[in-house]
Amino acid sequence: MKVSIKRSGGFAGLSDELGSAAGSHQSALGEAVRRLKARAGAEDQIGADLFRYEVTVDEGGASQTLTVRDGDPPASDSLRELLGLVQS
């Protein structure tokens, strides 16, 4: 499994690669991705200045991208956990 996270948006409309992880932390990555999938998109946040996070998961030859906006309460904790794993 490989997980990569990009952030875009905000006032300046910037785009940043926040990191990627593959190989290490496999079980923790898998659990964090499953929690994020279950919670992402539960609330559609509106605001041009919000950050948007694209979490791309490559596993077994298949790729899936989840989009999470800043301030999405159900997904915030899961996204923060995943960011910690990817950036460590």
Return the domain boundaries, the chain: 2-87
Residue 63 is predicted with a pLDDT of 92
Q: Are 4 and 86 in contact (CB under 8 A)?
A: yes
- Report field, pTM of the whole predicted structure over 0.75: yes
Residue 44 is predicted with a pLDDT of 60
Residue 62 is predicted with a pLDDT of 93
Residue 41 is predicted with a pLDDT of 63
The dihedral region occupied by 47, where left means phi > 0, alpha psi between -120 and 50, and beta the remainder, is left
- Mean pLDDT over all residues of the chain? 83
Q: What is the DSSP letter of 24?
A: T
Q: Cα–Cα distances in Å, from 87 out to 35, 58, 70?
A: 18, 17, 18
Instruction: Provide the 3-class DSSP secondary structure of residue 34.
Output: helix
- For residues 49-55, give the mean pLDDT: 87
